[in-house]
């Protein structure tokens, strides 16, 4: 099978060359937006979340049979179009349930103990604790929105900190709730009672901007919001306004709407038909980057040695099993 593989590191390239020996691999550094690429003869596209694959990309590959994403999320792929064209889509169901959950708490602790300001102060030569008062996690209420594998790990970590946990999900795991010691409640109740809200949902037509001005108005004043899932879950303009008026006390964000343009604005500004909403979101993102109560990281919650290895192993399995006629981890 001829594979177009977008890669991040030389080590990844070497490993996949070895593990997919027998297949013809065309390596493309970065994402599909980076540089030119040919779809001639390509039967498999293997990408990460930074590569958007819509009808145009599929049509560029007339021999395409399989799209493999090295992620659990797949909102960067037009799955309905793929199905209509008879193209299978494979993903990595589980790889970083603990990894991403740990990172959510890294963001929260950075905010709760003012780690960024503390580090910058000592770098400047001052060791005064003045103005660096934080707050305990113990005794606070953590609201977890989405209790899949990552959300469940967040709940377990929160319980370890001595937090009271409440959660919202359309699908309840009552046995897990009973053994772990948390309650499922309606979304509005979770928003109203939580000191910290952590998001663990896909971005789709049901969840897009689930955190908006209306929902923020239901929250406790001074609430902290953590998002390691998808940028589209939060209405950026509503978050900015809530930070300005103090409704939201702080935010830890590993994902942003239009995050791909934050460090490469020219791709957006220089496009033939600039998207007004995307431009507006880009400017709001820059406000968030400079806000003292906001911590933003570059979509790196997944990025540990162990999690990446799990991703690559399952990716190889997805490609090999498909080519041998026994496909695994296909989206139904």
Task: Give CA angle at 258 (257, 261), nearest 5°.
Answer: 145
Given 259, 277, 291, 310, the catalytic residue: 259
Please confirm, yes or no, whether 299 is among the known catalytic residues: yes
Residue labelled with tokens 């799955």: 79
Please confirm, yes or no, whether 97 is among the known catalytic residues: no
Q: Are 48 and 16 in contact (CB under 8 A)?
A: no
Please confirm, yes or no, whether 230 is among the known catalytic residues: yes
Q: Are 181 and 162 in contact (CB under 8 A)?
A: no
Q: Which residue blocks in the chain are alpha helix, DSSP H? A: 10-19, 55-59, 79-84, 97-112, 115-123, 149-160, 174-180, 187-193, 213-216, 236-245, 265-269, 276-290, 305-323
Given 299, 306, 310, 317, the catalytic residue: 299
Given 164, 200, 230, 237, the catalytic residue: 230
Side-by-side strand order, sheet with 183-184? 183-184, 164-168, 141-145, 196-199, 223-227, 248-253, 294-296
What is d(CA 173, CA 147) in angstroms, rounded to the nearest whole number? 8
CA 171 remoteness from chain centre:
21
Q: Is 67 helix (H, G, I), strand (E, B) or coil?
A: strand
Q: Which residues are catalytic?
A: 230, 259, 299
């Amino acid at each position: 099978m001829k594979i177009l593989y977008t890669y991040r590191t030389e080590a990844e390239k070497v490993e996949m060359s070895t593990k997919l020996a027998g297949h013809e691999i065309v390596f493309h550094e970065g994402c599909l937006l980076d540089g030119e690429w040919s779809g001639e003869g390509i039967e498999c596209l293997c990408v990460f979340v930074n590569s958007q694959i819509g009808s145009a990309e599929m049509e560029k590959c007339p021999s395409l049979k399989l799209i493999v994403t090295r992620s659990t999320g797949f909102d960067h792929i037009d799955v309905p179009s793929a199905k209509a064209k008879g193209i299978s889509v494979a993903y990595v169901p589980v790889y970083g349930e603990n990894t991403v959950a740990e990172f959510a708490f890294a963001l929260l602790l950075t905010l709760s103990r003012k780690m960024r300001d503390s580090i910058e102060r000592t770098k400047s030569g001052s060791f005064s604790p003045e103005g660096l008062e934080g707050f305990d996690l113990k005794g606070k209420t953590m609201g977890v929105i989405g209790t899949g594998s990552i959300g469940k790990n967040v709940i377990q970590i929160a319980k370890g900190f001595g937090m009271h946990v409440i959660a919202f999900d359309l699908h309840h795991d009552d046995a897990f709730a009973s053994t772990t010691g948390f309650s499922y409640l309606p979304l509005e109740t979770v928003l109203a009672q939580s000191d910290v809200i952590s998001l663990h949902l896909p971005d789709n037509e049901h969840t897009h901007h689930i955190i908006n001005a209306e929902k923020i108005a239901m929250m406790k004043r001074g609430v902290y919001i953590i998002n390691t899932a998808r940028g589209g879950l939060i209405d950026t303009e509503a978050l900015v306004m809530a930070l300005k008026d103090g409704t939201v006390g702080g935010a830890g964000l590993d994902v942003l709407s239009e995050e791909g343009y934050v460090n490469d604005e020219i791709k957006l500004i220089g496009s033939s038909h600039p998207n007004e909403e995307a431009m507006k979101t880009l400017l709001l993102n820059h406000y968030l980057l400079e806000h003292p109560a906001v911590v933003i990281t570059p979509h790196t919650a997944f990025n540990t040695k162990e999690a990446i290895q799990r991703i690559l192993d399952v990716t190889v399995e997805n490609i090999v099993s498909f080519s041998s006629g026994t496909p695994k981890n296909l989206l139904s």
